[in-house]
Amino acid sequence: MRLEQLQAFLAIAEAGSFQGAARKCGVTQSTISRQIQALEADLGCELFHRTSQAKLTLAGERLLPRARKISAEWQSAMQEISDLVCGKQPELCVAAIHSLCAYYLPPVLQQFCHDYPDVQLRVTSLGSDRALKVLKDGLVDLAIVMNNRFLTTGREMIVETLYEEPIEVLLAANHPLAQHESISWSELINYPQVVFKDGYGMQRLVQDKFERLEATLQAALEVNTLDAFRGVVRQGEFIALLPYSALVEARNDPTLAVRAINNHDSILPDSNLTRRVVMVTTNDRLQIPPIQHFWQLVRQHIPPKFDLDMQNASYSKFQVG
């Protein structure tokens, strides 16, 4: 059974004749007849009494409401896809890591809402692994995460690097290590740490670093928000390794201190610790105008130039020691 056969059937039922249906569909009467004959052959029964008027048989009466429903569903699907291609989608869903949601994304979100006022923008703050999982499951349209090559290698994936930033040390202002301008790995491994929960890219990055150093990570506490990191570290005992962009508020807090990592005394020849932030979507999604526009806005605005300049200065500082 083909869609045009059902459409011919409906046209005859509405027009009351094969000739009227042909005029309605803009085809010849013989074309309408062939379509109905093929449909009747598939179903194994006649759908119309061949009289002066095309009256439905019992089988035709049973088919009519279902044919109308199928035709309506098809028209609805065509309209939805047409709207999607034209950018008339009801919402755009984004998953992003916490630090971007707090500091870098807000200007982008505001601009997008101004440019696409009819698209409901939904942003969820998630860890990198979870964000990529919901992207693969089709629950979000785009993810901005810490790079994980094991989760972004599918042929359908589009991955763009946004920036790379150093990992620094967050500690209380009165912590013993705060007296140093930079802190060596040999000192860091001796202190208990606050870490991200399992499933976060930063947790995996820090754990991998300690394994390469053949040291034991003293993970005293697991949290998953930047407020929690600052609150716990502020108490004075624990330290935390966090990316530059997650330490914006901490730099202006007199009860906290942020220090670069000094890598020169490390046993590893290349022990710099950085994280790469990427934007990920799929080939088909990037063809949709609102998603494409959001992608371009992120490329233009993240990270802000003044933060990059500060980042480069900080990175140079801990490289020099």
pLDDT at 5 over 60: yes
Which pLDDT belongs to residue 186?
87
C-alpha 169/C-alpha 316 separation (Å) is 16
In the listed set 43, 63, 85, which residue is the last one of a domain according to the structure? 85
> How large is the average pLDDT for residues 78-102?
79
Residues 189 and 264 in one domain: yes
Token pair belonging to 248: 């914006």
Side chain identity, residue 121? L
- Do 60 and 144 fall within a single domain? no
The mean per-residue pLDDT over the stretch 58-62 comes to 88
Counted domains in the chain: 3
Instruction: Inform me whether the pLDDT recorded for 87 exceeds 70.
Output: no
| 251-276 mean pLDDT | 81
> Which residues constitute the domain of residue 30?
3-85
Task: State whether 109 and 245 are in the same domain.
Answer: no
Q: Quote the pTM value.
A: 0.71
Looking at the fold, whether 68 and 120 belong to one and the same domain comes out as: no
What is the CA angle 154-159-160, rounded to 5?
A: 170
Task: State the average pLDDT over residues 76-102.
Answer: 79
List, for residues 134-177, the tens digit of each pLDDT value.
Answer: 999 989 999 999 988 777 777 888 999 999 999 999 999 999 99
Task: Output 153 or 277, whichever has higher pLDDT.
Answer: 277
Is 262 inside any structural domain? yes
- Same domain, residue pair 63 and 140: no
* pLDDT at residue 40 in the model: 86
Residue 301's CATH number? 3.40.190.10
Domain boundary among 85, 112, 142: 85
Residue 68 predicted with pLDDT over 50: yes
The pLDDT value recorded for residue 243 is 93
Q: pLDDT tens digits for 171-218?
A: 999 999 999 999 988 899 899 999 998 878 888 899 988 888 888 999
Residues 71 and 9 in one domain: yes
Share of the chain above pLDDT 70, in %: 89
The answer on pLDDT for 72 being more than 90 is no
Local confidence band at 265 (pLDDT 50, 70, 90 cut-offs): low
Amino acid present at 77: A
Same domain for 173 and 268, yes or no, is: yes
Q: How far apart are alpha carbons 203 and 208 in whole angstroms?
A: 9
